[in-house]
Amino acid sequence: MAEAQFKRIRRYTWFIGVDISKNKLDFSVMHNMVLILHKEITNDVDGIKSFIIELKTLEKFSMIKSIFVMEKIGFYSNHLTTVLLKIKANIVMGGAFHIKRTLGLVRGKTDKIDSIRLAEFAFIRRESLVLWKPKRPIINELAMLCNISDRLLTSINRLAVPINEQKSFIGNKQSAFQMQCCNRSISSLKADLLEVDSKLLSLIREDPELKRLFELIVSVDFVGPKTAIRLLISTNEFNDIKNPKQFACLIGIAPFPRESGTMRMKMRVSNLCDKKLKSILHICALCSLRGENGFKSYFKRKTENEGKPGFSVLNAIKNKIILRIFACVNQNRPFEKEYLNPKRKLEARNL
């Protein structure tokens, strides 16, 4: 067992750190912990291909035993990942915050130093590195459209909200003129937003797997189409995250203990989370308190009878919604309000 583990650790001997910028890439090539080469190239396909040819000329270099490490930086890495996937290179994409914490106390920062630190990170964590797998193009397209939708919604609110707030504090003429100035822009932005939202739904309907997952998610009470789309993107069609506890940790609703020696503090949720997704689930939880069919009675019992803080109970409601979604997806069945476990059904029949 130990021998097999040792071989797995020693699989990679070449570590290539890549610092990605808009116009250039910095490569630092290390053989184990020895820096062999540093090179700065333009961030385009031709420049990357030329560097790969140069890389293969290094003595004892092997693409199978090499690993490319970079930070998650969005579309700036598209040219690089396209070339590397074609040559079947090993790729690791790590979060910038995670990599920074792993390296310990560091001082100074340049593109060259960052690329060296990325290579060092790969060497230090070579035992636990997880290779990056590209998402399906349709998931990337959904993510891009969601970003556009967010920007459009922000632009609409920036124009409309101040005008509505000023109505009762300024004259009618001024208010009417402000509205007249912005009306066409707001109407145009709203039309664009509707177009983006319809495109998102049409993409999901055209893909059988996405359509299946989408219908399972929206079958859960208080979960709408926009929430379902965000879930599909963040979990990569439930391929990257299959466990509801992992997802609860991702969006920052899972409490963690805080203990040291004899000191015992209250468990708290972490701020290291996807706050956008957390806010969307928070709206779902608030919606569940409006009707009698939701968690209204549960919220009232916990807050009034048991004296629990309101936000703590809302956190529990978010978790219940997540558990329902993952149960439906993992069991491939829509949500049923009067669902009875098959074991209990059998027990009921025997009675």
Q: Are strands 255-260 and 34-42 parallel, antiparallel or unpaired?
A: unpaired
Strand order in the sheet with 66-71: 34-42, 24-31, 14-20, 66-71, 90-94
Backbone angles phi, psi at 156, to 5 degrees: -60, -45
Token pair, residue 33, equals 């912990």
Structural contact between residues 197 and 152, judged by C-beta atoms closer than 8 angstroms? no
Q: Which of 7, 131, 11 is nearest to 69 (CA)?
A: 131
DSSP state of 64: T
pLDDT, tens digit (0-9, with 9 covering 90-100), for 147-199: 999 999 999 999 998 888 888 787 788 888 888 888 999 999 999 999 999 99
Quote the tokens at residue 177.
Answer: 């003129």
CA 89 to CA 27: how far, in whole Å?
A: 15
Residue 3, pLDDT > 50, answer no
Task: Report pLDDT for 266.
Answer: 85
In the chain, pLDDT over 70 holds for what percent of residues? 93
pLDDT band, residue 346 (cuts 50/70/90): low
Confidence of residue 4 (pLDDT cuts 50, 70, 90): very low
- For residues 122, 125, 131 and 132, what is the CA-based torsion angle, rounded to 10 degrees? -70
Cα(first)–Cα(last) distance of the chain, in Å? 51
Report strand pairing: 90-94 vs 255-260. Answer: unpaired
User: How confident is the model at residue 199, as a pLDDT?
Assistant: 97
d(C-alpha 139, C-alpha 161), whole Å:
32
Query: How many angstroms from the chain centroid is the CA of residue 304?
Result: 36
pLDDT of residue 348: 52
Question: In this prediction, what percent of the chain has a pLDDT beyond 90?
Answer: 69
Taking each helix axis from N to C end, the angle separating 275-287 and 225-234, rounded to the nearest 10 degrees, works out to 150
Rounded-to-integer distance, Cα 133 and Cα 46, Å: 23
What phi and psi values does residue 341 have, to the nearest 5 degrees?
Answer: -55, 140
Predicted confidence (pLDDT) at residue 53 exceeds the cutoff of 50: yes
Residues whose CB is less than 8 angstroms from the CB of residue 278 and which lie 6 or more positions away in sequence, other chains included: 251, 252, 253
How confident is the model over 235-254, as a mean pLDDT? 93
Instruction: Specify the pLDDT at position 95.
Output: 87
